[in-house]
Structure formats: C-alpha cells, structure tokens
Amino acid sequence: MSVAYYIVTREEPEDLDTFVNGKALAHLDDGVIDQLCEAAGVRSLLDFLSQDPEALDEFLEDEGIDLDEDESLPDAEWFSAEEGLASVRGLLNYLQQHPQALQNTADILEDLQEYEAVLVQLAERKIAWHLALDF
C-alpha cells in the first residue's frame, strides 16, 4: 500500500487536473516536515491537512474502528491557495538552497513542484483547497 498527500478542492472544475504524486512527501516523518517548514520560515504543510468526515468515517469502519454515538469527526477545513503557495514556494526555495537537508530531496522537490502548479491554478480561480492523506 502506498501513502500519499493529495490536493482536494472545494470546487471541481472539469478543465483542472489536480493530480499530484505526493508519495515522497508522505513518506517523510511529520516531525521532519515540520522542521523543514520551520527552517524555511513558512507555515507547515501539515497545517493544510484535512479529511472529509464521511470518507474518514468509512475508512475507520473498514479498519474496524467504530466511533461512539457521542463522537463526531470534524468538518473538512478549507484554505486559500495563496496560503498553500507561500508554504510550498518557501519550502521549494529552502530545499533548492539546502539539497543536503534530505536524502531524497529531488523526489520531495518534484512533489512540491506538482503542488505549486496546481495551487497556482487554484489561486487564479479563487478555489479553496486542503491536503488529504491517501492510505
């Protein structure tokens, strides 16, 4: 099974391809992602992580995890593309200047460039987004 961070949009225009690989980034430890973003002076990419409560509930059920009746999952959070671009571009810049920061910097840069390309299109169209984790 391959894990990946992918982009979810609030609206889904037919002429917009939001596919991103996101596998290299998802294989980094959360603490490493936070540290890289801190070193780059940007908001952590993990701050943009959100899940659709219905999809998350289905996943939990498939895993044999049932929520109590009084428990509920939070609604998905949405962010402006400009917020995401600031973090992605800051991290891109940092890793281009510090390629030794990771063993797989080239793969991470490729993921970030894909995020940037999608977020630029979302910013032009004023479409909100968030990152989601694909298990």
Residue (of 135, 134, 90, 121) closest to 9 by Cα position: 121
Tokens describing residue 91: 């991290």
Q: What's the whole-model pTM score?
A: 0.87
Binned at pLDDT 50, 70 and 90, residue 14 comes out as: confident
Query: pLDDT (tens digit, 9 = 90+) per residue, 55-88?
Result: 655 655 665 667 666 666 677 899 999 999 999 9
62 vs 26, 58, 88, CA distance in Å? 21, 6, 33
